[in-house]
Amino acid sequence: MTIYLIGMMGVGKSTVGKILAEKMKLLFIDLDSEIEKSSQKSVSEIFNEDGENHFRKLESEQLKQYSGSVVACGGGITLDKKNRQYINKNGIVVLLTASINELFKRLSNSNNRPILSDNNSEEALTNLWTERKKDYSNTSDFIINTDEYNQTEIANKILLEINP
């Protein structure tokens, strides 16, 4: 079984993914970290030096490397229709959400988010959400809002959805 966690940056995909993988006794994969390892550059460096299109190509390639694991996908994974089709076909897709206000609080001290680096504002997050909401929703098997729960509670909610 492969579980794909999708959603905006700051919703907790990586943290929840680690807990979920441990509970399910599966390997945890953070796609952005794997891209950084394979390219020997940070995500920010890839964006700055090679461009977002190059990063998206690496992301699509890396996505197909893993099965039987919990995969924390980058926030933009659903921008590519082929990625959406791939994760739908090959696993259970969980959309983690949070309010814009909560995301802004979580990301306000982060300077390693290239998509926000020039405009780290609630408006920028709102625009990203508006742009991605439909693809996220259409790709996910179910949605969990993370505003009111800690990471362990979120992982437990996912487990309940997978194994009712």
Number of domains the chain contains: 1
pLDDT of residue 110: 59
114 inside domain: yes
The percent of residues above 90 in pLDDT, for the chain, comes to 71
Q: Alpha-carbon distance 38 to 162, whole Å?
A: 31
164 inside domain: no
Lowest mean per-residue pLDDT among 22-31, 90-99, 111-120: 111-120
Residue 78: which CATH number? 3.40.50.300
Average pLDDT over residues 60-87: 95
Domain range for 155 is 3-159
96 inside domain: yes
Lowest mean per-residue pLDDT among 12-26, 27-41, 106-120: 106-120
Q: Alpha-carbon distance 8 to 47, whole Å?
A: 17
pTM for the model stands at: 0.91
pLDDT of residue 44: 85
